[in-house]
């Protein structure tokens, strides 16, 4: 009960606009139940009585769910998403719904019915999208952890920009039932937390087959912490020789290179690896996203286009102009990319890359200069994360220091399918070696 009260007090005092809805009465009721259960010896696990938040595209029974859009400003679902139910079954206390980019379609996180969330590291900066409210709430200590979704990087991008841990698990590992879709063949649900151990606890509660989700994988639940004690001595890390270190802020590059040196000092082998067609894979992800997102919203775009945020509408309408053969070719490239990454990981445990090419940019800025070239902020933020959405591989962003001005920098680790335990093994080793990130 005390933890929930403290969380609600911090939320009330915060000016970060991380929350759309705060469910104070329901949270206190659930916290009281949890306190009685724990007192009676009925302990449900690490999440029992822990205050968590949920991105505002997850259905929550009886609680307004807006998708960040005027279309759903007064929408109150009659059921909860499977992910929410699983957190509640683990004893978690949901304290509210966090701000999301409209319909989760944006890497900046600042186009929402409820306004832009603000980055705790610098409130004049973006949180990243579209799970920016969740990342801000966690980074500011308003909650212990939060649910996000990731279709092009929307868990890992805000995790990197806000300085927290964000996991995109293997595609189908966590149910998306009851979550508003963006691009169904690439939508993932994942946790954001302040530490790797906390992330393990949240993911452990979320996984499992769900017959209500046609994309859910039927796989036994496993112990994601089972490899942590092994350390990384003798392990193998690959750093892609192309793409991931192109068009990148020098400070971000430097921080990631320092991480590679840390892993070497811990006894891991770090070597360059070639992965072909990375630029083409990114374009295939962008095209798949555009086509599927347009399909989700085609009727709304036809009947009431002005209700969309202007920039979100513009992005959605870009999907209308695509041709069928372009989508087919993108899916063929998706299959090839799975093979390419699988081949690269065959003799490696993980790939190591930056999470984003830049740190958090100022609110309201649409373009940023990198290496003398002016680029779109939303597109550039997803360059390093979007590829594993297309091919479904698990990817984890962890903090790896800050820029000279104190803005967080994120490191991305990528493993083979169902390699979440391996990701946590490497992330925990780095976190222990660098407790301040």
Cα–Cα distance, 246 to 370 (Å, whole number): 10
Whether 378 is a known active-site residue: answer no
Q: Which residues of 372-406 are buried (b: 16+ CB within 10 A; e: fewer)?
A: eeebebbebbbbbbbbbbbbbbbbbbbbbbbbeee
**Cβ count within 10 A of residue 74:** 8
Helices (H), 392-437: 420-433
Whether 154 is a known active-site residue: answer yes
Cα–Cα distance, 211 to 177 (Å, whole number): 9
Q: Which of 7, 80, 134, 154 is catalytic?
A: 154
Query: Cα 41 from chain centroid?
Result: 34
**Cβ count within 10 A of residue 195:** 18
Cα–Cα distance, 363 to 366 (Å, whole number): 9
Whether 55 is a known active-site residue: answer yes
From its phi and psi, is residue 49 left (phi > 0), alpha (psi between -120 and 50) or beta?
Answer: left
φ/ψ of 121, rounded to 5, equals: -70, -30
Q: Which of 55, 114, 195, 216 is catalytic?
A: 55
Residue 205, token pair as written in the block: 């509660």
In degrees, rounded to 5, the angle at the alpha carbon of residue 295 between the alpha carbons of residues 289 and 298 is: 130
- CA quadruple 14, 18, 19, 24: dihedral, nearest 10: -40
**Cβ count within 10 A of residue 44:** 16
Q: Which of 112, 130, 378, 397 is catalytic?
A: 130
Cα–Cα distance, 389 to 150 (Å, whole number): 8
Active site amino acids: 55, 130, 154
């Amino acid at each position: 009960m005390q933890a929930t009260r403290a969380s609600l007090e911090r939320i009330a005092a915060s000016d970060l606009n991380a929350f759309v809805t705060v469910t104070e009465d329901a949270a206190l009721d659930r916290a009281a139940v949890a306190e009685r259960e724990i007192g009676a010896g009925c302990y449900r696990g690490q999440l029992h009585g822990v205050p968590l938040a949920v991105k505002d595209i997850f259905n929550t029974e009886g609680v307004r769910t807006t998708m960040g859009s005027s279309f759903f400003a007064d929408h109150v679902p009659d059921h909860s998403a499977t992910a929410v139910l699983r957190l509640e079954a683990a004893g978690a206390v949901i304290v509210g719904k966090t701000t999301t980019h409209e319909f989760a379609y944006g890497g900046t996180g600042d186009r929402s019915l409820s306004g832009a969330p603000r980055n705790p590291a610098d409130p004049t900066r973006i949180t990243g999208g579209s799970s920016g409210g969740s990342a801000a709430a966690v980074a500011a200590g308003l909650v212990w952890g939060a649910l996000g979704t990731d279709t092009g990087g929307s868990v890992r991008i805000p995790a990197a920009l806000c300085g927290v841990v964000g996991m995109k698990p293997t595609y189908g590992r966590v149910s998306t039932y009851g979550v508003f879709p963006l691009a169904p063949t690439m939508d993932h649900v994942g946790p954001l937390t302040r530490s790797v151990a906390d992330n393990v606890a949240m993911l452990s509660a979320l996984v499992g087959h769900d017959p209500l989700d046609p994309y859910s994988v039927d796989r036994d639940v496993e112990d994601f912490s089972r490899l942590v004690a092994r350390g990384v001595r003798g392990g193998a890390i690959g750093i892609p020789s192309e793409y991931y270190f192109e068009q990148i802020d020098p400070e971000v590059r430097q921080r990631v290179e320092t991480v590679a040196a840390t892993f070497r000092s811990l006894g891991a082998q770090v070597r360059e690896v070639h992965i072909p067609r990375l630029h083409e894979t990114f374009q295939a992800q962008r095209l798949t996203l555009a086509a599927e997102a347009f399909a989700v919203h085609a009727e709304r775009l036809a009947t009431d286009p002005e209700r969309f945020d202007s920039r979100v509408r513009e992005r959605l309408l870009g999907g209308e102009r695509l041709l069928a053969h372009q989508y087919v070719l993108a899916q063929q490239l998706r299959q090839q990319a799975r093979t390419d990454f699988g081949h690269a990981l065959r003799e490696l445990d993980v790939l190591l890359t930056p999470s984003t090419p830049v740190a958090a940019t100022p609110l309201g800025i649409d373009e940023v200069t990198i290496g003398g070239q002016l680029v779109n902020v939303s597109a550039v933020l997803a360059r390093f994360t979007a590829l594993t959405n297309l091919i479904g591989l698990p990817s984890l962003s962890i903090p790896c220091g800050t820029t000279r001005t104190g803005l967080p920098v994120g490191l991305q680790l990528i493993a083979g399918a169902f390699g979440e335990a391996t990701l946590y093994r490497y992330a925990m080793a780095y976190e222990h070696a660098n407790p301040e990130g």
